[in-house]
Chain A
Amino acid sequence: MYPSRFRYEAPRSLDQAIDLLRTGGGEAKVLAGGQSLVPLLKLRFAAPELLVDINNIPGLDYHRVDPDGTIRIGALCRHADLERSTVLSSGQPTMAAAAPLIADPIVRNRGTLVGSLCHADPQGDWASVMTALGGHVVAQGADGRRSIPVAQFVTGPFQNVLAIDEIAVEAVVPAPKGTVAGGYLKLERRVGDFATAGVAVAIETSGELITRAGIGLTGVGGATIDAVDAAKALVGRPLSAESIGQAADLAAQAARPRTDHRGSAEYKRHIVHTFVVRILSRITESAERAA
């Protein structure tokens, strides 16, 4: 498999990169980790005229926590960095659970979280996780930066809201106001498979009460699903068997799965339900253990 011909530029600064994208006039594509884009080029499902490789732009490979608890992930932070991150393992359970489930270990050495959000594959894991966390994508263009909630960033299968001369430079998880808990469960037939169905849950609690909740669904619709009603069912009360059941029912209702060779629509919906219950029940159990 051989990509079709394209021009290639590897700018050293974001400004140069944005300039190049503008001159590319919509026929240009940004190359970061390349773990989705390069296969698409090889299959000739993508045939850009210009490839703007941002890997040589310094200062984008970070992930860090601000003093207020905001998590920032640069455009060149690789999945493997997140998998090994003490920042996540100690403070962000939903992301920590998802990081090892992205693709396979070798792909994780190159692929990036921000690139994955931009790719907007309905079966992409990070989009659900960031949706559950109420995350943002920071896009930089000629006129400066803007911040877009992930739930609005992805507009459809393989579509995002970036203008042709904008680059997603950072993903942001807002600082939590309470104690965080959550998880990510993915049904895959083997390592590296796309999700048959995946569920990301992120909650914040203050005392017994849940103050914020987010539930993102992977692989059960034309795009990542923000299960808003399911999340709402959890907020303002303590986690209980009843609220878990309601959230699971609502999440399953929010799913829009299609039957394919990975499973029937009915099954995928059922898995969404099961996974919501499992993640939330584990949170309850570990809270009980801690108490």
Chain B
Amino acid sequence: MTQALDEIKIGGLGASRKRVEDNRFVRGKGNYVDDIVLPGMLHMEILRSPMAHARIRSIDTSKAWAIPGVRLVLTGEMMATRNLAWMPTLSYDTQAVLATDKVRFQGQEVACVVADDPYIAKDACEAIVVDYEPLPVIVNPRQAMAEGAPLIRDDKENQHDNVVYDWEVGDRAGTDRAFEQADLVSKLELHYPRSHPSPLECCGSIADYDRSTSKLTVYMTTQAPHIVRAAVALVAELPEHMIRIISPDLGGGFGNKVPVYPGYVISILASILLEQPVKWIEDKTGNLISTGFGRDVYLRGELALRKDGKILGVRMHTDADHGAFFSDAQPSKFKIGLMHSAFACYDVPTAHLTARGMYTNKAPGGVAYRCSFRVTEAMFFQERMVQAAADDLGMDQAEFRRLNFVRDDDFPHRTPFGFLTDSGQYGKCLDVGLEAVGYQDFLRQKEEAKKEGRLLGIGISVMTEPLGAGNSREYDILGIKMFDSAELRVHMTGKAILRTGAKSQGQGHETTWAQIVSHELGIPAEDIVVEEGDTDTAPFGMGTYASRSTPVAGAAVAMVSRKIRAKARKLAAHLLEVSEEDVEWELGRFYLRSAPDRGVTIQECAMAAYSNMPDGMEPGLENVSYYDPPNLTWPFGCYIATVEVDPETGVWDVLNMVAVDDCGVRINPMIVEGQIHGGLTEGFAKSSMQWITFDEEGNCIGSNFMDYLIPTAWETPRFELLETCVPSPHHPIGAKGVGESATVGSPAAYVNAVIDAVAHLGVRNIDMPLLPDRVWSAIQSAPSG
């Protein structure tokens, strides 16, 4: 008998395979946009508005032009002659590329300079004189809605107020009835503050237009190169086949690198005008004050409760601050993303959500910052409302959740907002977390500590979230359906190259995609090279964000591998001189059912595909799959934090953080755990320090890493990870998204823990970030504080 292949040894599914991309990264040989140098390359810098809202009276660029080494100075007026002063956003709005009429947020792009080096370009930007006429500034939805508020988007016909949209979902009448029948209504108002993904690498591009071939090549920090290609074709009116977008190594993305930014567009025009490569590398302030932010949503939430603890209905109203342009990157059908995925893990009979979006004089965005389109806000609101409700009822936090969970045998389950969840074991997930954290023990410790004047708290957050858009019936961006793709070419020696329409930015696709192929075909992972990010070579895909790569592109990888296997089976039958029906498959090998010792390896089949194919068979062993998922995947998780709050200073420390994640089948457990660590840290960051705010004049507070605080190794808690495994019923290998689960689920755990520590004093809510002064003030102003 031949020895069966050991899947873990060949780097298949479930192997904690070391990452292949690390070989270059640890040597400093990553290839990020700013590492690329093209012959004759020029450098571009952008002049940004210091004002949040002002009319532009004039722009004088003469001094900039006079500086030696300056090649081009562009203003909005000049962009307008090419019809490029404005561009479409990913949410059917328009956004100024370079301002013409007025500036609408601090940091908006006003002019740009191309020069021989970036130092000179910056000198020239400083030499541009802009005359602004200040206008009244709006920095929050309340001001935006106020009567007589200045109109921000006076550029748009038929826009007479600052409302972006009014949207609703769910059953209004049914929900009203549920509230009428309630024994108790629990209410909570929350703000999920503005935050910024702030990958360490800022945005940038190198546009290289070659007049002789009419081809435009753009190296760009983008998570979605194919969407960008389509956008550039539409905006710059270039033929799509003459545009090549290359997304090289990305220094993180987290949703920040999905939208198309003015800098990209300007660098393209500059290269077309100058016929030389033009590099634009954003600085950190530019990144923080002008590119896609996340969150900035206000909630009014209500739960209708029966006195035994059953949730009868949910009512939510959200006011979202979208900044000056509606440029969320999200499925077009859903104006406030997937906010209505809230309460998906709870058995709630009826629910209603109203959502309003507002323009303000702040940077545009609302991107899916390490989450699946506002799912982070949805789950944070959900778990904060749940805690408040349990407190209102005087019920134990865990018990209240357990009572309301969707039961394990109640799938598929239609959520009150219309999603179809397909699997879950929320009670078990919670139990695993409670046991790990020592729930009952901690409750006792907490009471003991209270006697000594010490404040301990425990916070639970449980959620299931929809990851992996589409299906294409419901999910599209600008009409482009949300599917994804993989192309596999098996060479004659059995080595292979795989390309997908996704784009890794640290998730390790080069490692994990090969593992899926390995699982399906038995080809050792090290024999498969993975390539992404080049629109000239990769099949069309929607890119990597919203935890959609494994659910969609990863599924496509499995499916294309299966197509290859199907053809290999024919080749095997030919080689074994039997009919296909007599051939069985085991990992890496076809064999005769009747004589298992007689078989051929996948590598032998590959060789035959080029050297010995049966008559009438197309040569070669290559294929492509476009995968349109039947549903989203529904990973779930439970996050439990314990904290101690210093009542004198409001400083709080995390004592313990336990995460139980169920992402179904894990392709590479090591990488999954790395993703969860990152997500838990994001949750800690947002709950403790990381936010962007604005003063009354619209000045951005948090415009650099001195003010926009990201936790270091010192403050970041240690994490304990656990798992359960309910495979996705529809994903080809049973996997679910995970990259963002902990970002989505953990913030409420930290906040709930701090609130739990001070709830007995009468504190009901503290908005994130829970800065020491906010915690202290809440204690001071609490009834028993």
Contact = CB atoms under 8 A, between A and B. Distances in A.
Nearest to B708: A261
Contacts of B285: 1, 43
**Main DSSP-derived SS at the A contact region:** loop
A267 B776 contact: yes
A193 B689 CA distance: 11
Interface residues of A, number: 27
Contacts of A1: 122, 283-285
Interface string B687-710: 011000100000001100011011
A191 B776 contact: no
Interface in B597-652: 648-651
A193 B690 CA distance: 12
B714 A190 contact: yes
Interface size class of B (residues with CB under 8 A): 20 to 34
Given A2-B119, A189-B688, A196-B773, A271 B649 contact: yes
A194 interface: yes
B772 A263 contact: yes
Given A2-B118, A261-B693, A274 B712 contact: no
Contact of A274 (B118, B126, B649): B649
B771 interface: yes
Nearest to A274: B648
B588 to A, nearest CB: 49
Contact of B707 (A43, A44, A261, A270): A261
Contacts of A266: 777
Contacts of B709: 189-190, 193
A190 B711 contact: yes
Contacts of A193: 706, 709
Max chain A Cβ within 10 angstroms of own Cβ: one of B118, B284, B709, B711: B709
A3 B771 CA distance: 34
A43 to B, nearest CB: 8
B171 interface: no
B715 interface: yes
Contact of B771 (A104, A189, A192, A271): A189
Contacts of A194: 706
A264 to B, nearest CB: 6
Interface in A235-291: 260-264, 266-268, 270-271, 274
A18 to B, nearest CB: 30
A155 interface: no
Contacts of A196: 772-773
Nearest to A277: B648
B126 A263 contact: no
Given A191-B712, A267-B772, 14 more contacts: A1-B284, A3-B119, A44-B126, A104-B712, A190-B712, A190-B715, A193-B709, A194-B706, A196-B773, A261-B693, A261-B702, A263-B771, A267-B773, A274-B648
Interface of A: 1-5, 43-44, 104, 187, 189-194, 196, 260-264, 266-268, 270-271, 274
22 contacts: A1-B283, A1-B284, A2-B118, A3-B119, A5-B119, A43-B285, A44-B122, A187-B649, A187-B772, A189-B709, A190-B710, A192-B712, A194-B706, A196-B772, A260-B701, A261-B693, A261-B707, A263-B772, A266-B777, A267-B650, A267-B773, A270-B776
5 tightest CB-CB pairs across the interface, nearest first?
Answer: A263-B773, A267-B773, A2-B119, A2-B122, A189-B689
Interface of B: 118-119, 122-123, 126, 283-285, 648-651, 688-689, 693, 701-702, 706-707, 709-712, 714-715, 771-773, 776-777
